[in-house]
Structure 1
Amino acid sequence: MKATHNPPTDVQVTPADLLRMAALYLRRHGWTQGTYYASDAPADNPTPPACVVGAIGIACAGHKVEHFADLDTDDRHTYLDAIAVLVDYLDDHYPIHLFDDDGLCIDDHTSPYSWNDDPLCTADKVIAALEGAAKEWDRLHTQGGEQ
């Protein structure tokens, strides 16, 4: 590279990057259930404990995100891609499916919201799932999908 060459500054954040950042966020700031962000945290706290989806939102935007529509277009796509990767991973490793009163499956995919709020879920499981989903995305997209 010549001294006058300016390297590109656009860095493409992958779903795996975002999932790892969310895991790191939860390690540093804590995890919660039943809400995106801990309700007992001060309102002006920029880094409250978060649920799995709330942590992905903060990792994506750098601040609390109440709904994906609050994100700009580029961030929204990255956020939704990361959620989809997590859902695929949960389907394979932590399946929870909702059934109606007649026993018919309502949703074929594991909801990250329901999974996060399951009483058996723990912060360690959430962090492990985020990291596992990131590793799986990398395996499929950067290593040609080999086992």
Structure 2
Amino acid sequence: MKATQNPPTQVQVTPADLLRMAALYLRRHGWTQGSYYDIYETADYLTPPACAAGAIGIACAGHRVEHFSQLDPDALADYLAALGVFVDYLDTTAPVFHIDEDGYLLDEHTSPYSWNDDPARTAEQVITALDSAADEWDSLRITGGENA
């Protein structure tokens, strides 16, 4: 860097960073199914157990949000990017396709919501998937130790 250049003032947070933060959140505060946050926690509880999407939302906003539409534009862009990386990972590792009664494909992507809410799903599977999706994102973008 030349002496006349200004150093960057902000660190770029990647979708992989957000997915790892979501996994860490779930390790520390717990995981739930059926809603973004454990419905049995009080409304003012700051760190309720969360589903995968809820934990990604918290990682993006820095606090709980009841729906991703409540995120500011920058946090919403980060949320959608991280969720998209997670969906891409699920599409390759745990595809779930919804076919109607006529045999037509209704949804070609795995829903992170229905995947999270599968009765056979465990917290460890969700945490591992978030970490693995982050690792995959990094492996596709890092060459020689630098972002490509």
Confirm or deny a common fold (TM above 0.5): yes
1:90 equivalent in structure 2 = 90
Identity, in percent, stands at: 66
For 1:104 and 1:47, how far apart are their aligned partners in 2?
Answer: 41
Give the whole-Å Cα distance in 2 for the aligned partners of 1:143 and 1:103: 42
Q: Shift in Å at residue 69 of structure 1?
A: 2.2
- Structure 1 unaligned segments of length 5 or more: list them: none
The one-letter amino acid of 1:96's match is V
When structure 1 is superposed on structure 2, of 21-30 and 134-143 the one drifting more is 134-143
Distance 1:121 1:6 in 2: 48
TM-score, normalisation: structure 2: 0.89
| Range with bigger deviation, 67-76 or 105-114 | 67-76
Runs of 4+ in 1 over 3 A off after TM superposition: 5-8
Find the residue that maps to 1:31 and give its secondary structure.
Answer: coil
Matches within 5 A, 1:52-131: 52-131=52-131
Structure 2 unaligned segments of length 5 or more: list them. Answer: none
- What is the SS of the residue equivalent to 2:130? helix
SS in 1 for 2:134: helix
Structure 1 length as normaliser, TM-score? 0.90
Alignment pair present for 1:23 and 2:9:
no
Pairwise CA RMSD of aligned residues?
A: 1.7
| Counterparts of residues 7-22 of structure 1 (less than 5 Å) | 7-22=7-22
Question: More strand by proportion, 1 or 2?
Answer: 2
Residues paired across the two proteins, number: 141
